């Protein structure tokens, strides 16, 4: 793992940190010495991740939150500031969708739930941390979008793809709005990554088919994304603002 000593003094909120890309990102930032607030609705698994980080000498605190609920997000941000004294970095990993779908057969409540989990959550968490990032020397917002927000997939969810495209545009608005406060906002757009959620959605044949379409001939690992986010948070990325990092093995080139 690359080393970014400046991250040792940073306080990082990671949403969706109880499993998958969020948990791996938490482990990567904790290994740099950063203090992590593990935001998740799944208290049990968030504690498992926090305990594992603590066992390796890292600093991590599980914070139970529903990232689609404004009051819950406000309480979680307040708990983070009380525990650590501030917030320097927000990483929004909470997101996803529950089934492959098409517009024609999508019930409205599934559309609304998917938009809320992926887009409303990014808005609520960004808004809640802005006053704290403004007090930081090097504020950073990193939104986890998706290749589904960059192009249209044969099999995905239109609500998910639309929400992730909107997350990318929200990122650009934040980059524009917060640049004068020395806060950068960037997005990461992962390709299919073998997390527990994805393993439940995809068959082995799906995985082989997707890998065969990637120039690097493999699916992403959570660590592929975590390493890019470490760099985005580092001092070396201070002048990257409003970008989308397409962590997709070259599957889609924009």
Ligand X SMILES: NC(=O)c1ccc[n+]([C@@H]2O[C@H](COP(=O)([O-])OP(=O)(O)OC[C@H]3O[C@@H](n4cnc5c(N)ncnc54)[C@H](O)[C@@H]3O)[C@@H](O)[C@H]2O)c1
> At CA 64, angle to CA 68 and CA 163, rounded to 5?
25
**Residue (92 or 136) nearer to ligand X, CB:** 92
For the CB of residue 181, give the shortest distance to ligand X in the complex, in Å: 25
160 in catalytic set: yes
For the CB of residue 166, give the shortest distance to ligand X in the complex, in Å: 13
Q: Which residues of 31-65 are buried (b: 16+ CB within 10 A; e: fewer)?
A: bbbbbbbbbbbbeebbbbbbeebeeeebbbbbbbb
The torsion angles phi and psi of 68, rounded to 5 degrees, stand at: -95, 0
**Residue (138 or 229) nearer to ligand X, CB:** 229
CA atoms of 84 and 119, how far apart (whole Å)? 27
**Residue (127 or 197) nearer to ligand X, CB:** 197
* Distance, CA of 144 to chain centre: 4
For the CB of residue 98, give the shortest distance to ligand X in the complex, in Å: 10
59-64 β-sheet, strand order:
59-64, 35-40, 11-15, 89-92, 139-144, 183-188, 244-245
For the CB of residue 115, give the shortest distance to ligand X in the complex, in Å: 12
**Residue (7 or 125) nearer to ligand X, CB:** 125
Residues that bind ligand X (CB under 6 A): 16, 18-22, 40-42, 65-68, 93-96, 117, 144, 146, 190, 192-193, 195-198
For the CB of residue 125, give the shortest distance to ligand X in the complex, in Å: 10
Q: What are 100's two structure tokens?
A: 């492959």
**Residue (136 or 195) nearer to ligand X, CB:** 195
Q: What are 247's two structure tokens?
A: 């962590």
Query: Which residues are catalytically annotated?
Result: 160
């Amino acid at each position: 793992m690359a080393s970014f000593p400046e991250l040792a003094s940073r306080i990082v909120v990671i949403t969706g940190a109880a499993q998958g890309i969020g948990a791996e990102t938490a482990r990567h930032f904790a290994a740099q010495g950063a203090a992590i607030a593990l935001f998740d609705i799944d208290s049990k698994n968030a504690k498992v991740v926090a305990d594992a980080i603590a066992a390796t000498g890292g600093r991590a605190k599980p914070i139970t939150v529903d990232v689609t609920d404004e009051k819950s997000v406000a309480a979680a941000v307040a708990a983070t500031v009380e525990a650590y004294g501030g917030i320097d970095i927000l990483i929004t990993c909470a997101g996803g969708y529950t089934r492959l779908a098409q517009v024609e057969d999508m019930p409205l409540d599934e559309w609304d739930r998917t938009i809320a989990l992926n887009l409303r959550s990014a808005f609520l968490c960004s808004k809640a941390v802005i006053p704290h990032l403004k007090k930081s020397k090097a504020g950073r917002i990193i939104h986890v979008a998706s290749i589904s927000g960059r192009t249209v997939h044969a099999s995905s969810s239109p609500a998910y793809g639309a929400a992730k495209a909107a997350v990318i545009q929200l990122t650009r608005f934040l980059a524009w709005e917060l640049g004068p406060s020395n806060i950068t906002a960037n997005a990461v757009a992962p390709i299919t990554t073998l997390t527990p959620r994805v393993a439940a959605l995809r068959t082995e044949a799906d995985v082989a088919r997707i890998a065969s379409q990637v120039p690097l001939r493999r699916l992403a690992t959570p660590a592929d994304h975590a390493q890019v986010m470490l760099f985005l948070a580092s001092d070396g990325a201070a002048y990257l603002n409003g970008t989308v990092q397409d962590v997709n093995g070259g599957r889609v080139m924009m």
